[in-house]
Amino acid sequence: MLATWLAAAAAPGDAAAGPGRRDSTRDPDDVMAWLRLACAPGVGPVAARLLLAAFGLPQQVLAQSVEALSSVVPQKQARAVLAAPGAALSGLAARTLAWLDTPGNHLVTLADDAYPRRLFDLPDPPPLLYIKGDPALLARPAVAIVGARGATPPAQPGRPDFSDFADPSDPLLAALGYDPVTLDALCERSGQPPEAVAARLLELELAGHAERLPGNLFRRLG
């Protein structure tokens, strides 16, 4: 069970490859449950991990009452997690599933064996990783290469393309500044509800137009 696994600090990547190994998540119900947890307004990776440690997988988290979740996180966060999915989140789920249909695309969650151990050991690991390529390679020694988001033409052919997740002309980008801003401030600036802003922010992050900072703050990139 994920709760025991998280509490014991056991991590993906330790199990040997075999029939029971799962490197990524593709089931539509699982994808929607993970997105609901990851995109819940004002929740963030720290609270998400606390809920996973307490109750198990996202579908088990979502089966709890507000009172049960409020024993682990503030009631405002508990209500955000249990809020019914709106059009924005449903649209994000549909686009994510369509993206997963492309060979080589993977959604790796905290519960998947391919989730990197060193990332898992952080106090605030991202619940979801969008991977292009073989997720099993994440367990191997690697060298990090930091490149510009506005890459020069010679570097662009090998750059992963997440452009289908965001439109640079999106009005939310106008509300995002280069200085850190809270989710509530983005809702006020854009006139959009929290669920829609949270779902769109994830898309903008994937496209390289936005960055999530500690403290559940966001800023524009590029």
Asked whether the predicted pLDDT for residue 12 surpasses 70, the reply is no
Asked whether the predicted pLDDT for residue 152 surpasses 80, the reply is no
Residue 144 lies in a domain: no
pLDDT category, 101, cuts 50, 70, 90?
very high
Asked whether the predicted pLDDT for residue 8 surpasses 50, the reply is no
Asked whether the predicted pLDDT for residue 10 surpasses 50, the reply is no
- Domains: count for the chain: 2
Residue 176 lies in a domain: yes
Co-location of 112 and 185 in the same domain = no
Query: Residue 162 is part of which domain span?
Result: 153-220
pLDDT at 220: 86
Co-location of 84 and 159 in the same domain = no
Place of tokens 């151990």: 117
Residue of higher predicted confidence among 150 and 220: 220
pLDDT digits (tens, 9 = 90+) for 103-117: 999 999 999 988 988
Asked whether the predicted pLDDT for residue 129 surpasses 80, the reply is yes
pLDDT at 173: 77
Co-location of 43 and 122 in the same domain = yes
Asked whether the predicted pLDDT for residue 14 surpasses 60, the reply is no
Residue that finishes a domain, picked among 70, 104, 134: 134
pLDDT category, 20, cuts 50, 70, 90?
low
Co-location of 107 and 38 in the same domain = yes
